[in-house]
């Protein structure tokens, strides 16, 4: 694949120290990579490599808008904890306190699941996303409401008893989105704008409106595949299936700005931030050594120390992002998911492909 390089206008002619790690992602088959590095002093360097549009060969825009998938959960958890700070929610109160009678099913009881357990993925709620978004291209032009997605989840039995163990479920954040709207009597999109995006000056960070399929700002095209390697444009996508669990749009640099503000205590009280960073083990073959707090994940760094962030996968984009111990924030977005490039049947190659972006994140955080 022919590679094009674009960078900030104020970038000098010297080579970017992180370019090799990003170029390796393009060489591995990702159409484009957009990266942003913000150091502890707040200086930001943005880089874009590859092809932003495979049809035209156009270079990807530096710091363009991308769908950030499950990074949405960091924003939702921040709002929930702001509401805890304000006394409108309590972490150890049951769901039923705020959504009476809504969460019920086979082994599912909203009177026995706490807000904390939703945030930390220890609630045992069954997953909805694998059914609703199983056919990415089929869902591309389809709007589905949060309540309808919740109904899909509650047709299934509970995965486990509340608090029994950790297991990632997008349904937890679907419920938290509904809870935010019920408690504040305002739309989740409005809460994200008013509580986070506007105060931090994030002009390209937003939750798309129902039926809004096109990104609002300059962006690379995103690609997906029904058969690995046969990439098709999936940029114009109704992300309703993600909603509070994964529909947010941002840019790499704006995601860095948000993470730095969050961990710097600009958005939450010290007590709420400490709760957010209280973790349970969440390591897996994909993320060895990881731990999960309240919408925030920690990762052991290869050079020592712990990085805090999240990450997101949505058809057309994979994003990995974190802040290292020295305060450096890094976000890397590639314009396809690993299984659009490598067959899911080849587990060893798929695992290696999946880890590439996380490894590039780790390398970038360590090489400062």
Q: Distance (Å, rounded) from C-alpha 166 to C-alpha 296?
A: 14
List 36, 70, 250, 298, catalytic entry: 70
Q: Distance (Å, rounded) from C-alpha 74 to C-alpha 96?
A: 23
**What residues pair up with 137 in beta bridges, in sequence order?**
none
Q: Distance (Å, rounded) from C-alpha 245 to C-alpha 230?
A: 28
Q: 244 with 192: CB under 8 angstroms?
A: no
Q: Distance (Å, rounded) from C-alpha 94 to C-alpha 102?
A: 12
Q: Phi/psi at 53 (nearest 5 deg)?
A: -145, 110
Q: E-assigned strands of the chain? A: 4-7, 32-38, 44-50, 66-67, 104-105, 108-109, 223-224, 232-233, 249-250, 280-281, 291-292, 297-300, 306-309, 312-314, 317-323, 329-334
Q: Distance (Å, rounded) from C-alpha 127 to C-alpha 311?
A: 18
Taking only Cα atoms into account, the Rg of the chain, rounded to an integer number of angstroms, comes to 19
Asked about 70 being catalytic, the answer comes back as yes
Within a 10 A sphere around the Cβ of 310, how many other Cβ atoms? 24
Residue 295, SS3 per DSSP: coil
Residues annotated as part of the active site: 70
């Amino acid at each position: 694949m022919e590679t094009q390089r674009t960078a900030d206008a104020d970038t000098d002619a010297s080579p970017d120290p992180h370019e090799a790690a990003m170029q390796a992602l393009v060489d591995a088959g990702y159409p484009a990579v957009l990266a942003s590095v913000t150091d502890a002093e707040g200086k930001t360097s943005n880089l874009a490599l590859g092809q932003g549009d495979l049809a035209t060969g156009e270079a990807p825009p530096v710091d363009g808008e991308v769908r950030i998938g499950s990074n949405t959960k960091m924003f939702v958890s921040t709002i929930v904890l702001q509401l805890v700070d304000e006394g409108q929610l309590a972490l150890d109160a049951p769901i039923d306190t705020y959504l009476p009678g809504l969460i019920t099913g086979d082994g599912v009881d909203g009177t026995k699941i706490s807000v904390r357990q939703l945030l930390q993925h220890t609630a045992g709620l069954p997953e909805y996303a694998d059914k609703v978004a199983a056919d990415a291209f089929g869902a591309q032009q389809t709007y589905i409401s949060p309540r309808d997605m919740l109904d899909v989840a509650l047709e299934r039995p509970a995965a486990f008893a509340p608090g029994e163990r950790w297991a990632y479920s997008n349904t937890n954040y679907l419920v938290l989105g509904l809870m935010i709207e019920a408690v504040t009597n305002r739309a989740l999109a409005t809460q994200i704008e008013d509580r986070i995006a506007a105060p931090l000056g994030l002009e390209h960070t937003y939750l798309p409106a129902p039926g809004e399929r096109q990104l609002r700002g300059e962006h690379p095209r995103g690609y997906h595949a029904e058969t690995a390697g046969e990439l098709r444009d999936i940029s114009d996508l109704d992300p309703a299936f993600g909603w509070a669990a994964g529909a947010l749009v941002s840019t790499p640099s704006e995601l860095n700005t948000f993470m730095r503000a969050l961990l710097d205590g600009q958005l939450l009280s010290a007590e709420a931030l400490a709760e957010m960073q209280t973790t349970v083990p969440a390591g897996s073959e994909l993320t060895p050594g990881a731990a999960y707090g309240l919408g925030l994940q920690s990762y052991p760094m290869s050079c020592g120390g712990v990085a805090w962030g999240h990450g997101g996968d949505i058809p057309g984009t994979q994003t990995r992002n974190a802040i290292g111990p020295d305060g450096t924030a890094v976000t890397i977005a590639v314009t396809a998911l690993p299984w659009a490039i490598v067959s899911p049947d080849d587990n060893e190659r798929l695992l290696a492909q999946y880890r590439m972006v996380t490894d590039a994140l780790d390398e970038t955080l360590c090489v400062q």
